Amino acid sequence: MVTARQTTPRRGHGGDDDVAVKHFAAADTEALKCWGSGHANERVAARAVAGSAPEVVGTWSDDAGDHLAYRWVHGTPLRPGGEAARAAGELLREVHATTGPWWGSLDGRFVFEDPVAALSSRFGHAVRLVAGVDEALARALERWGDAALGELVVAGPPRLVHGDFGPANLVETTTGLVALDWEHARWGHPAEDWAKIRLGLRFAEPNAFDAARWPTGDLLAGYGDEAARHVADGALTSFLVVYYAATLGAFFEGRPNPRLDWIRDGVAMDGAGYAVG
């Protein structure tokens, strides 16, 4: 998987400016990106939120996979604290203010008739990832997901979702924050990004807003009035947190595996164990 850090700057794809070159191995794209190529997502996102995402100056493909060059973002990693958390919330609000034409991939290769169908597709991919680690758990998770999807009600238009929004993907520049790594972006629901944030509060990871360093209240305040609605406990949030626990549990495989253990316990309780507070 491509890391959140900019690679060593190279010249040759961006005129006289330094650029960062990212490589998406074909095998990684197939396994880890539910709706196709990461470089297509980056290219569309750069147009959708110009100034808040790196400017893409070139994309190409070959037998090794997909490749992308974006103009080097001159800045520093976001430093922890309340002010930074508020700025991150403001940026996430800006991202979610961008509405899309359909539910699905940014480039239109995968379009779904409604948000539940889109979520069903993503959840099915998560189940397949878990099956590579624990087939029995994957079957139980699939049954739970089918029941949960049947009860979901998703309101509002499709909006831009980053898919991996966290401090490791944020760069502080002289003009504001820039978000890196849009390879998992899609047209979806704002709760998708908030669910990823919620899961990071429960299970530590390199790209999480842990409450000790990033005051959650400031993050919510920066986002504004809609924050409470998007992070409230409910069927959609619970479903999305389980989705992320499954995908990250399969990615960070090994023992112990607290994310998959949490899913395993919840399945045994018919989902009653999936408290996301």
One-letter amino acid of 121:
S
Q: Record the pTM.
A: 0.89
Span of 5-14, 104-113, 180-189, 198-207 with lowest mean pLDDT? 5-14
pLDDT score, position 213: 94
Span of 27-41, 49-63, 114-128, 145-159 with lowest mean pLDDT? 27-41
C-alpha radius of gyration, the chain, whole number: 18
Q: What is the pLDDT of residues 72-114, one digit of tens each?
A: 999 999 999 999 999 999 999 999 999 999 999 999 999 999 9
Q: How confident is the model at residue 34 (pLDDT cuts 50, 70, 90)?
A: confident
46, pLDDT greater than 70: yes
Comparing CA positions, the residue from 208, 144, 135, 177 lying closest to residue 49 is: 177
- Whether 46 and 53 have beta carbons less than 8 Å apart is answered as yes
Q: What are phi and psi of 192, to 5 degrees?
A: -65, -45
Q: How confident is the model at residue 27 (pLDDT cuts 50, 70, 90)?
A: confident
pLDDT score, position 252: 86
pLDDT score, position 4: 33
268, pLDDT greater than 70: no
pLDDT score, position 233: 58
Residues with Cβ within 8 Å of 118's Cβ and at least 6 positions away in sequence, in order, are: 103, 104, 112, 186, 188
Distance CA 170, CA 81 (A): 14
The residue that leads in pLDDT, 226 or 165, is 165
pLDDT score, position 66: 87
CATH number of the domain located at residue range(s) 77-268 in this protein = 3.90.1200.10
Q: What is the pLDDT of residues 243-267, one digit of tens each?
A: 999 999 998 888 899 999 999 988 7
273, pLDDT greater than 70: no
14, pLDDT greater than 50: no
How far out from the chain centre does Cα 251 lie? 14
Taking residue 253's Cβ as centre, other Cβ atoms within 10 Å add up to 15
Mean pLDDT throughout 182-196? 94
Report the chain's mean pLDDT, rounded to a whole number. Answer: 86
Measured CA to CA in angstroms, residue 68 lies from 13, 19, 40, 110 at distances of 9, 10, 9, 21
pLDDT score, position 194: 94
Tokens at residue 203, please?
């299970």
The residue that leads in pLDDT, 103 or 234, is 103
Measured CA to CA in angstroms, residue 237 lies from 61, 153, 233 at distances of 36, 11, 6
Domain ranges for the chain, please list them.
77-268
Tokens at residue 181, please?
């790594």
pLDDT score, position 272: 46
